[in-house]
Amino acid sequence: MQDIARTVAVLATGGTIAGTAARATDNIGYSAAQLGVRALVDAVPALAEVPLVTEQVAQLDSKDMDFAVWEALAARVAHHLAKPDVAGVVITHGTDTLEETAYLLQRLLAPTKPVVMCAAMRPATALLRDGPQNLLDAVTLARQPGARGVMAALSGTVHSAFDVRKVHSYRVDAFGSGDAGVLARIEEGEVRRLREWPAGEPLGLELAGRTDWPWVEIVTSHAGARPDGVRALAAAGVRGLVVAGTGNGSLHHALEDALVEAQKAGVTVWRSTRCLDGPVQMKPGDRLPSAGTLTPVQARIELMLQLMRA
């Protein structure tokens, strides 16, 4: 019972969950990031019974996520997690870059309490809005005894920060966990866990006030790929490149030659795959290292963090 009485910190950053449209039938022509955190909470009557603290950390469409918001968010999450009366943190966020923020926070903080990302595919004005149920589920998970790590709670499904990815541009059930499979389900306020909570060691990197986020770009291998883009990036001072290769990280020969040239010139180059699921497995003769099971956007964040630590 004691756990159930504990506080959840709800940190808002914007997104469609806080979006509004002129008509209830309009699911795409809305403006994201319009409603404040209190309005989101007040739309869920069941939350009136739960001790919450709320904070508006940012108010943006997550397609525009940037390093300053990440720094502020990481600091506020750490601040709330450190309070003994806080059971967990919920972050309302846009769906577009949710997987990036989730991965970043997990790697930075590796929290021993739950940090639950929450979003919506329909604006708050929609006939069939998904935000309120997702928020209620996220708060439920944030108060779940024993839960830990950064997760996302969407459409009754819980994904680990290590696996979550947006897999659909429109469907309400828009997220997947790839090969790993979902972490848990939330049904009628009950969390049904299917595998272990996300765990790890915090990186111990201090982001506050950092102006030196390394420049890392993602390039894609495809038919007719040209070397020019990679050469231009290297000449412009890029520090790292993640290439989304075909299949098992294979690369068009023209692109691969340019990437190997960039690597020789001091750019860190990692190979991932443009396939939705699956790792890049190294084999004899490979000239560029694999990003393992990381998706291209996760690999980009991992590479930025590693370059910051170097």
Q: Which residues are the active-site residues?
A: 16
Least distance CB 2 / ligand ASP (angstroms): 35
Closest CA to 92 of 50, 64, 61: 61
Least distance CB 62 / ligand ASP (angstroms): 3
Which C-beta is closer to ligand ASP: that of 155 or that of 306? Answer: 155
What is the Cα 284 distance to its own chain's centre? 33
Q: CA–CA separation, 251 vs 52, rounded Å?
A: 50
Residue 299 structure tokens: 């690999």
Which C-beta is closer to ligand ASP: that of 96 or that of 256? Answer: 96
Segment interacting with ligand ASP, rule: CB under 6 A, options 59-67, 103-111, 217-225, 242-250: 59-67
Q: Does 15 bind ligand ASP (CB under 6 A)?
A: yes
- Cβ proximity of 195 and 147 under 8 Å: no
Least distance CB 16 / ligand ASP (angstroms): 3
- Cβ proximity of 41 and 135 under 8 Å: yes
Compose the 86-125 pattern: x for residues touching ligand ASP by CB under 6 A, - for all others.
--------xxx----------------------x-x----
Least distance CB 23 / ligand ASP (angstroms): 18
Number of residues that bind ligand ASP (CB under 6 A): 11
Q: Does 62 bind ligand ASP (CB under 6 A)?
A: yes
Compose the 21-50 pattern: x for residues touching ligand ASP by CB under 6 A, - for all others.
-----------x------------------
Q: Does 168 bind ligand ASP (CB under 6 A)?
A: no
Least distance CB 82 / ligand ASP (angstroms): 28
Least distance CB 15 / ligand ASP (angstroms): 4
Q: Does 11 bind ligand ASP (CB under 6 A)?
A: no
SS3 sequence, the chain? CCHHHCEEEEEEEECHHHCECCCCCCCCCCECCCCCHHHHHHCCHHHHHCCEEEEEEEEECHHHCCHHHHHHHHHHHHHHHCCCCEEEEEEECCCCCHHHHHHHHHHHHCCCCEEEEECCCCCCCCCCCCHHHHHHHHHHHHCCCCCCEEEEEECCEEEECCCCEECCCCCCCCEECHHHCCCEEEECCEEEECCCCCCCCCCCCCCCCCCCCCCEEEEECCCCCCCHHHHHHHHHCCCEEEEEEECCCECCHHHHHHHHHHHHCCCEEEEEECCCCCCCCCCCCCCCCECCCCCHHHHHHHHHHHHHHC
Q: CA–CA separation, 117 vs 98, rounded Å?
A: 7
Which C-beta is closer to ligand ASP: that of 62 or that of 125? Answer: 62
Which C-beta is closer to ligand ASP: that of 58 or that of 115? Answer: 58
Return the residue of 61, 99, 100, 302 that touches ligand ASP, per CB under 6 A: 61
Which C-beta is closer to ligand ASP: that of 93 or that of 239? Answer: 93
Least distance CB 13 / ligand ASP (angstroms): 9
**Interacting residue ranges for ligand ASP, rule: CB under 6 A:** 15-16, 32, 61-63, 94-96, 119, 121
